[in-house]
Amino acid sequence: MFMFKKYASVVCLSPRITHAVSYAIRKHSAVQIRQAETLEAQLLWDIDTLDVWNVQRVQSLFKNLKWTNISIFDSYILYMKNVGFHLNFGWTRNEVKRKKPLFLETMSQFRESLMNGNKKPETFFMQPKVMSSNLYSRSIHSLRDLGHKS
């Protein structure tokens, strides 16, 4: 936020815009007592939370580690599976519902590649526009015993 304010003054943004953007940035941090009140802050929160379900981002993080502890990976996936994120808009809630099954299935396959010492999985799944209930069912079954595989 301080970096934004510095550059906002350099380009002479109005105090009204600077204050509104600073509020959105401040409310987008993970620890909040009160929910964001402005549309801009709510949108920034939802979009940033939606990015948590980005398969390539998570795979890149774990592939680039010099070592990978499977229990850390399992804890992360378990957290993603069970935690409900507060989302402000129906659209983002629907996007998470759409992305979650494929994300969990892809992470299950990625986990197997980590277990085999291969940090470069052969297949990266693309996020399809339509998700079938059959795929959701398969992903739930494939991850049911995630904590018991290692």
* pTM attached to this predicted model: 0.60
Same-domain pairing of 56 and 126: yes
**pLDDT tens series, the chain, 150 aa:** 678 888 888 898 899 988 888 888 887 776 667 778 888 888 888 888 888 889 998 888 888 876 767 888 888 888 888 877 788 999 999 999 999 999 999 999 998 888 887 655 444 343 333 333 333 334 444 444 444 444
Q: Do 92 and 25 fall within a single domain?
A: no
Q: Are 78 and 107 found together in one domain?
A: yes
Give the pLDDT of residue 131. 35
**Residue 108: which residues within 8 A CB-CB, separation 6 or more?**
77, 139, 142, 143, 146
Residue 146 in contact with residue 109, Cβ under 8 Å? no
The reported pLDDT for the residue numbered 124 is 39
Q: What range defines the domain where residue 13 resides? A: 2-34
pLDDT at site 93: 92
Domains in the chain: how many in total? 2
Question: Does 127 share its domain with 54?
Answer: yes
* Sign of the torsion angle spanned by Cα atoms 39, 40, 43, 44: negative
**Residue 114: inside a domain:** yes
